[in-house]
Amino acid sequence: MGKIYKNFYPQIYDLLNLWQAFGKASKGRRGHPSIAAFEYNLKKKLIETENDLKNETYE
């Protein structure tokens, strides 16, 4: 990971940023099964995503 990205990367996996990104990504699609399934356990899923990004293990 480059020097510039190392400084910016923590902002990407910030929990508030992930929550806002979910809100934007799900806008108008809340009835879609995959969105509804993710939203059902939203807090848990966002924390898992945050940890995966932080540990650079996100797939």
For 23-47, what is each residue's pLDDT tens digit?
A: 999 999 988 999 999 999 999 999 9
8 pLDDT above the threshold of 60: yes
Question: Other CB atoms closer than 10 Å to residue 46's CB: what's the count?
Answer: 19
Q: Is the pLDDT of residue 3 over 80?
A: no
DSSP string, 8-58: HHHHHS-HHHHHHHHHHHHTT-TTSHHHHHHHHTHHHHHHHHHHHHHTT--
